[in-house]
């Protein structure tokens, strides 16, 4: 009986590799963004000229952090926000519906170059030293 499955050794054809590369590129486009605490996430559909509020789900995760003495690890509960988005829409943050409509009106009038105000996560992380 073979418990560990055999891994195929073929690398795949060029069209298959092209599809995998396209999928990788798609994930890069979606990515992760830094959110501002207290703001709501909105989505603008330019084809139908509609504004939507994006529902955000919080998934629980636990992080171990050393205490003041550095002797023990303390468990800290951190919620990770996750949202299902439509890649054809423009996403931005606003305080409420009224400010979201105002931001959208400024964008349509040409006062704002970009509607989105989300900050991208730095690939290098935060340096404390």
Q: Does the pLDDT at position 40 exceed 80?
A: yes
Asked whether residue 3 is assigned to any structural domain, the reply reads no
Is 75 within 8 Å of 62 (Cβ atoms)? Answer: yes
Percent of the chain with pLDDT over 90: 35
Asked whether residue 83 is assigned to any structural domain, the reply reads yes
Residue range(s) defining the domain that contains residue 110: 37-118
**Confidence class for position 29, pLDDT limits 50, 70, 90:** very low
Asked whether residue 31 is assigned to any structural domain, the reply reads no
Average pLDDT, the chain: 79
Tell me which residue of 33, 41, 35, 39 sits closest to 121, measured CA to CA. 33
Q: What is the pLDDT of residue 54?
A: 93
Q: What is the pLDDT of residue 17?
A: 65
Comparing 74 with 98, the larger pLDDT belongs to 98
User: Is 75 in a helix, a strand, or coil?
Assistant: strand
Over residues 5-15, mean pLDDT: 61
Q: What is the pLDDT of residue 36?
A: 87
Asked whether residue 16 is assigned to any structural domain, the reply reads no
Handedness of CA 68, 74, 77, 81 (dihedral sign): positive
Q: What is the pTM of this model?
A: 0.61
Asked whether residue 129 is assigned to any structural domain, the reply reads no
Q: What is the pLDDT of residue 37?
A: 87
Comparing 30 with 101, the larger pLDDT belongs to 101
Q: What is the pLDDT of residue 114?
A: 92
Is 85 within 8 Å of 111 (Cβ atoms)? Answer: no
Over residues 19-46, mean pLDDT: 73
How many structural domains comprise the chain? 1
**Confidence class for position 9, pLDDT limits 50, 70, 90:** low
Is 113 within 8 Å of 28 (Cβ atoms)? Answer: no
């Amino acid at each position: 009986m073979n418990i560990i499955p055999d891994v195929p050794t073929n690398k795949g054809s060029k069209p298959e590799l092209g599809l995998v590369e396209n999928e990788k590129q798609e994930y890069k486009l979606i990515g992760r963004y830094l959110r501002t605490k207290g703001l709501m996430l909105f989505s603008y559909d330019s084809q139908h000229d509609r504004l939507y509020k994006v529902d955000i789900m919080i998934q629980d995760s636990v992080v171990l952090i050393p205490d003041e003495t550095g002797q023990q690890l303390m468990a800290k509960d951190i919620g990770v926000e996750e949202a299902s988005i439509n890649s054809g829409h423009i996403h931005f943050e606003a305080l409420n519906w009224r400010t979201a409509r105002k931001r959208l009106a400024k964008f349509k009038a040409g006062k704002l170059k970009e509607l989105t105000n989300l900050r991208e996560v730095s690939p290098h992380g935060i340096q404390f030293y």
